[in-house]
Amino acid sequence: MTAARGLLPVAGAASRRSVLAVGIVLVALALAAAVLLGRWTLLTVAAIVAIAVLGLILSRLDIAVAILAADFFFSAYLSHGAGIITVDKGVGAIAVAAWVLDWAVKRRPILTTPQLWLIIAFLLWTTVSLCFAVSIKAGLVISLRYLTFSTLFFLVLQTVRGDRRKAEVLIKVLITAAVVASVIGLAAFFSHHVFRASGPIQDPNDFAFILGSSTPLAIYLIRWGSTWWSTLMWSLALAIILGCTLATFSRSALTGLAAAGLWLLVTRRLRLRWLLGTMALLAVVAGLAFFLAPQIVRGAFHQKTHIALENVNVRLGYYRVELNEWEHYPITGVGPGNFVYRFYQYAPAAGESPPYPFDVLGISGEEAYLVILAEQGAVGLALFLGYLAWSWADLRRRFPDDKRSDQLQAALAAGFVVACVGALFLTEQYYPPLWFLAAVGASLARGKPGAEAEGDGRAASGQLGTEALHAGAHR
C-alpha cells in the first residue's frame, strides 16, 4: 500500500469504493433534505454542506484526528451541550467513527505499543477504584475524561503509523489551533475582559500549560520551513503563542519551558543559537506588551503575585489532604474524582492548616501525581508513571540517519518535559499534551509497519516498526 502523503493520500481500490459509497449516501441524504425542506433554500444548502463536511471527515481519519487534537484548545467553548452529550464529545465520537471506517475498509492492523497496554490497565484499575467512590457521578465523569484521552492516544497512534509526514500534518493543525486560541486569549487580556489571558480554556494556568507544551513544536516548524514564507509564518505563530503564554502569568508553564530548554541544551538536541533566539523573541514580546499596555501588565502582575503568595500555603494544605486520603486507601484510592468529596474527612484540623475554600467541590488537587495517588491509589499511580516512563524512553530515541525525524522527536520530547513539569503544579492529566505528544513519539520511535513500509523500499514485517529500533543509543 502506498504511504499516505499530506492530507491527500492516494486511495486504493477498496478506499475508492468506500468513498464512492459514502458519496452516494451523501447525495441521497442531500436530496432528501432538499425535498423535506422545500422552499428553505438556505437551510437546504446548509444541510448539504454539513453532510458533505461530515462525510469528508468520516472518510479521512487524518482530518478527523487533527480536528480532535485541535479542539482541546477550545474546551471552554466546546464543553457545552445537553447533559453528558457535548460538542467536544461529539468530535471525539466522529473521530472514533472515522477510525472504524478506515480500519474496516483498508483492513489495516491495529497498532499497539507498551504504553497502550499500560493505559488499558490504568483504565481497568480506575474502574476498580470507582467502587470505593462516595460520588459515583463524579467518578464516572473523571473516568470518562481518562477514556477520552486514552482514545486520543490510540487514534493518534493509528493515524501517524510511524510516518513523519502524517505527524507533521497533525502538528501544523495543532499549532494553528494554538495561534487562534492565543489570539482570542490576548484579545480578552488587552481588552480588560480578564486579568490573565484565558478564554478558550477557562483557567489561565491550564491555558499556559497547553500552549507551553506546543512551543517546541512551533520551533521545529520554523527550523524546517520549506520556504521563507512558511518560516516567517511559523515564526509569527511562535511569537503569538509565547506572548499569550506570558500573558497568563503562569509560573508552572515558564518553569516547564525552562526545564525543557535546559534538557535540550545539555543533551545537544538544540543548538545554543536557537535557544538564545527563542529567549530573545520572548524578551521582545514581553517588552512590546509592557510598552503598549503598561497598566494592564502591571495590574495583572501584581494580582498574580498576591494570589501566588496566598496559594503556597493552600497548595501545601491540599497535598496533606491527598496524602492523608492515600494513607487510608493506599491500594485503591478514594475513587476517581472523589478527592474533593473526601476533603473535609481527611483535612487537617483548622488550627493546623490555612482556611480552605467554602466550596471545595470547585477545587482541584493542584498536582497531577498526588491526585492520582489519592484517587486511584499506589497501583494507579504506578501504572500512570509507567506510562510516562515508557513514553519518555521512546521520545528520547535518536535517528542518526534522519536529522529531520531526530529533531522532530526532540521537539516532542521537549514538549513532554513541559507537560510533566507542569503536572507537578496542576492536575494536567486531564489535558492532551501528556497523551498526544507521547502517542506521536511512540509511533515515530517504532517506524512504519512492514506492510506500509514496502512503498518506501523497506523490508516487510509483521511487527510494529523496524526503522527506529536500530536508530542508535539514547541520550
> Read out DSSP for 5-46?
-TT-PPP-HHHHHHHHHHHHHHHHHHHHHHHHHTT-HHHHHH
Q: Which residues contact 281 (CB under 8 A, 6 or more apart)?
A: 235, 238, 239, 242
Residue 104 domain-assigned (yes or no): no
pLDDT for 51 equals 73
Top-confidence residue, 283 or 441: 441
Query: Quick count: other Cβ atoms within 10 Å of Cβ 417?
Result: 24
- Residues 236-254 have a mean pLDDT of 88
Q: Kindly tell me if the per-residue pLDDT of 376 is higher than 90.
A: yes
Highest mean pLDDT among 18-32, 222-236, 405-419: 405-419
Comparing CA positions, the residue from 50, 49, 56 lying closest to residue 19 is: 56
Question: What is the pLDDT of the chain when averaged over all its residues?
Answer: 79
User: Which grid cell is 453?
Assistant: 513500509
Residue 447 domain-assigned (yes or no): yes
Q: Kindly tell me if the per-residue pLDDT of 303 is higher than 50.
A: yes
Top-confidence residue, 295 or 315: 315
pLDDT for 462 equals 37
Q: Kindly tell me if the per-residue pLDDT of 297 is higher than 80.
A: no
Q: What is the dihedral of CA 456, 458, 464, 466, to 10 degrees?
A: -130
E-strand ranges in 315-413 read none
Query: Quick count: other Cβ atoms within 10 Å of Cβ 248?
Result: 29
Q: Kindly tell me if the per-residue pLDDT of 406 is higher than 60.
A: yes
- Which residue has cell 486560541? 181
CA–CA distances in Å: residue 228 to residues 168, 205, 221, 224, 263:
18, 34, 12, 10, 29
**Do 62 and 56 meet the contact criterion of CB atoms below 8 Å apart?**
no
pLDDT for 194 equals 77
The pLDDT confidence band at residue 340, using thresholds 50, 70 and 90, is: confident
Top-confidence residue, 289 or 418: 418
Q: Kindly tell me if the per-residue pLDDT of 435 is higher than 70.
A: yes
pLDDT for 443 equals 94
Q: What is the pLDDT of residues 316-326, one digit of tens each?
A: 778 888 899 99
User: Which grid cell is 307?
Assistant: 494570589
Residue 39 domain-assigned (yes or no): no
Comparing CA positions, the residue from 456, 122, 413 lying closest to residue 260 is: 413
Residue 404 domain-assigned (yes or no): yes
Q: What φ, ψ does residue 292 adopt, rounded to 5°? A: -80, -35
Rounded Cα distance, 109 and 414, in Å:
30
**Do 374 and 326 meet the contact criterion of CB atoms below 8 Å apart?**
yes
User: Which grid cell is 135?
Assistant: 460520588
Rounded Cα distance, 63 and 58, in Å:
8
Residue 67 domain-assigned (yes or no): no
Residue 17 domain-assigned (yes or no): no
Lowest mean pLDDT among 32-41, 217-226, 229-238: 32-41
Whole-model pTM: value is 0.81
Q: Kindly tell me if the per-residue pLDDT of 1 is higher than 60.
A: no
Instruction: Give the number of domains in the chain.
Output: 1
Residue 103 domain-assigned (yes or no): no
41-59 and 61-71 are packed helices; what angle lies between their axes, rounded to 10 degrees? 100
Q: Kindly tell me if the per-residue pLDDT of 271 is higher than 80.
A: no
Residue 59 domain-assigned (yes or no): no
User: Which grid cell is 265?
Assistant: 541544551
Domain that includes residue 405, residue range: 112-456
Q: What is the pLDDT of residues 163-193, one digit of tens each?
A: 999 999 999 999 999 999 999 988 888 887 7
Comparing CA positions, the residue from 220, 335, 307 lying closest to residue 271 is: 220
